[in-house]
Amino acid sequence: MAKTQQERRADTRQRLLTAARDVIAERGVAGASVDALAEAADRTSGALYAQFGNKDGLLLALLDHWKKATANAIEADFEATSSIDERLRSLWANFINPPADGGDAWVLLEHELWLYAGRNPAAREQVAARYADAREDLGAGLAVPSEVATLLIALMIGLEMQRRLDPDAVDDEVALVGLRTLLRASGMDATQER
Q: What is the pLDDT of residue 183?
A: 93
- Which among 68, 61, 49 has a CA at the least distance from the CA of 14? 61
What one-character-per-residue DSSP string does 60-72 give? Answer: HHHHHHHHHHHHH
The reported pLDDT for the residue numbered 126 is 83
92 with 116: CB under 8 angstroms?
Answer: no
Instruction: Give the span between the Cα atoms of 53 and 115, in whole angstroms.
Output: 21
Q: Residue 1 gets which letter from DSSP?
A: -
The single-letter DSSP state of residue 2 is P
In this prediction the pTM is 0.78
pLDDT value of position 34: 94
Predicted local distance difference test score (pLDDT) of residue 66: 78
Q: Tell me the three-class secondary structure of 129-187, residue by residue.
A: HHHHHHHHHHHHHHCCCHHHHHHHHHHHHHHHHHHHHCHHHCCHHHHHHHHHHHHHHCC
pLDDT of residue 105: 74
Per-block average pLDDT, block size 10, for the chain (194 residues)?
A: 87 92 83 94 95 89 81 87 89 85 74 85 86 90 92 94 92 95 83 54
Position 51 scores a pLDDT of 95
Q: Which domains does the chain have, with CATH numbers?
A: 1-53 (1.10.10.60), 62-194 (1.10.357.10)
